[in-house]
């Protein structure tokens, strides 16, 4: 049963520390997404990759956040330095797009980040 | 630009009654529409989608949705609600005529089914 995996599931850190979240998309999917979910803002798109190339990271604070896909089996989201307002649940999702038609997205279980 | 609206923060329904969760969208081209459900402390799960074809789409767990182009709506429905349907529901849209955009999600509607 293929699924998106995310590590760590929970992370508590202090303000100013670097945080790295990892995601393994489903094998064969060619799109990967990073979302952030908070009570106040709801679900926000941070970054979108297609065939490992970043297509849209307009929702990501560029000064402290970075997203990469070093290979097809790994996507990373880094925050440096972290701030208390970054506390949220971060979801990774993967899917595919063929001839411009997107599939449904498959979401990972999320990383719950708390920045003290 | 593409956008989606879920006008109700919460919907309450008694078990066994029909339920409707509303969604309206705005796109410049043809829409691709999706519904997802989120249970507590879980990621979103796909329920159903409309890409093209029949306006009535059937999905998982007995849910269905009707695409209405004239009203730009894609309401989620179920004939008989279960307590276990209580969750957060998200509608999402992508403009079919734009190649680079990801899905835009609504703000979510919390469905509460009372026994």
Q: What is the pLDDT of residues B10-51, one digit of tens each?
A: 999 999 999 999 999 999 888 999 999 999 989 999 999 999
Q: How many CB atoms lie within 10 A of CB B107?
A: 15
Between residues B76 and A100, the one the model is more confident about: B76
Residue A36 has pLDDT above 60, yes or no: yes
Q: If interface means Cβ-Cβ distance under 8 Å, which residues of chain A face chain B?
A: 4, 33, 42-43, 45, 48, 55-56, 91, 93, 100-102, 104-110
Please tell me if residue B102 touches chain A, with a CB cutoff of 8 Å. yes
Grade residue A102 by pLDDT with cuts at 50, 70 and 90.
confident
Residue B99 has pLDDT above 60, yes or no: no
Residue A33 has pLDDT above 60, yes or no: yes
pLDDT digits (tens, 9 = 90+) for B51-68: 988 999 999 999 999 999
Grade residue B100 by pLDDT with cuts at 50, 70 and 90.
low
DSSP string spanning A48-71? EEETTEEEE-TTS-TTTEEEEEEE
Measured distance CA(A12)–CA(B21) in Å, rounded: 36
Measured distance CA(A27)–CA(A31) in Å, rounded: 11
Mean per-residue pLDDT, A34-52: 92
Q: Which residues of A touch B107 (CB under 8 A)?
A: 42
**Residue A113, pLDDT score:** 98
Q: Verify whether the Cβ–Cβ distance A109 to B100 is below 8 Å.
A: no
Mean pLDDT computed over every residue of chain A? 94
Mean pLDDT computed over every residue of chain B? 93
State the nearest Cα–Cα gap between A36 and chain B, in angstroms: 11
């Amino acid at each position: 049963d293929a699924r998106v995996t995310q590590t760590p599931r929970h992370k508590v850190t202090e303000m100013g520390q670097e945080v790295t979240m990892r995601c393994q998309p489903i094998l064969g999917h060619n799109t990967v997404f990073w979302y952030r979910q908070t009570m106040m803002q709801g679900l926000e798109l941070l970054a979108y990759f297609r065939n490992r190339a970043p297509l849209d990271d307009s929702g990501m604070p560029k000064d402290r956040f970075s997203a990469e896909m070093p290979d097809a089996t790994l996507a990373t989201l880094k925050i440096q330095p972290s701030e208390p307002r970054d506390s949220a649940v971060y979801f990774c999702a993967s899917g595919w797009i063929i001839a411009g038609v997107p599939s449904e997205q498959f979401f990972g279980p999320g990383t719950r980040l708390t920045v003290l | 630009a593409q956008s989606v609206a879920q006008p109700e923060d919460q919907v309450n329904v008694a078990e066994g009654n029909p339920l409707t969760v509303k969604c309206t969208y705005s796109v410049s081209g043809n829409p691709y529409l999706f519904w997802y459900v989120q249970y507590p402390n879980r990621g979103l799960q796909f329920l159903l989608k409309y890409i093209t074809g029949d306006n009535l789409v059937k999905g998982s767990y007995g849910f269905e949705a009707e695409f209405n182009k004239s009203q730009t709506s894609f309401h989620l429905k179920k004939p008989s609600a279960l307590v276990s349907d209580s969750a957060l529901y998200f509608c999402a849209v992508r403009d079919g005529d734009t190649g680079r955009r990801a899905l835009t999600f609504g703000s979510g509607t919390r469905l509460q089914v009372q026994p």
